[in-house]
A and B are shown apart, each in its own frame.
Chain A
Amino acid sequence: MKYAGLLVMPTGFFLVIAALVLFADPGRRGAFVACGLLVEVLGLAVAVRGHMLNRGVARR
């Protein structure tokens, strides 16, 4: 699960790059960049959740 989250994060980065290349309008570009960041935060949340699932192992 941690790896899944970490793999989602670069996807958000590529969304941000796509926003730079595809849109000249600052509004659309900003919205796409925000979406890319949201995807990255979701990926990080999934990775943290993966760490939480191992919480039992950490409690020793």
Chain B
Amino acid sequence: MFSFTKEQKVFDISGIKIGGQPGTYPTVLIGGLFFKGEPDFDKAKSQLKKMYDLSRRIGNPSMPDFFVRKEEFIEDIVDFIEKSTPKNQPFSVDIIDPNLKIKILEALHEKKLLSRTVYNSIHVGTTDEERKTLKKFTPEAAIIVAFNPKDKSPDGKIEVLANGANLLDKGLLDITKEIGIKKVLVDTAAMAPGDNSGASISAIPVIKEEYGLPTGCAIHNVVEKSNWLDDFKDARKPVDAASNINIPLFGGDFAIFGPMHNSDLAFPMIAWEDILVSEYTESYFGVEPCDFHPRRKLF
């Protein structure tokens, strides 16, 4: 459990606080709605309700992460976001295809939802056209993925943030600044087992001390790719949720914890860890937990 010398930024993203010294704000939990095939909005609605209820009860802020795979689903998913998520809560959109990313930005702009949007994500594959569209339709915040295909160590991750690691004309942080996005969350890019998967966790304190920015990752992806766990079926879901504990333990601020239906395990586990961190950081560093911290809510 750590405290940082570098001043730590705290962002207010459409009503949720993220960042700061460990122990101040609880870990923000980002749950995915993947919509495999035709989106099932009734199921999504009940998963959202469960996640928001857990968030209110426990204290960890939550944010839905909407995956969009096909252009034909954009309109329906954006409509669903508009109608089914609270007006005072942020959400993120997670899209891989650069062309779809451009189209969703236009759709979010038309629905006046950009002030609640966390763009997931800006990375080494971000195209010039995407940058231009982001300048025109600028979301409230963005997740920057510090993936450096040349060097997956914490140094490689910093290099891609700082100068683009010779893969880009400049660093991802400068690109994001030029676009005009002021609220930046750094995702340390969890890699598959066997590909320096631990670096995404060890990079958290390095990046926070370097930049003071809210930092986290999708460490559960490493569990998903650990095929040997198929022989331990009962353990898979608890291990998946428990992997997220590494993030607050190493000073991180957010966990992209995977499918939203795993909220029932992820929220209490992370709240438990946040309480542990808070007790230590308050006693040794004088860091007081905020008023909605699980340590205040659950005692």
Binding between chains A and B: no
Residue ranges of B at the interface with A (Cβ–Cβ < 8 Å): none
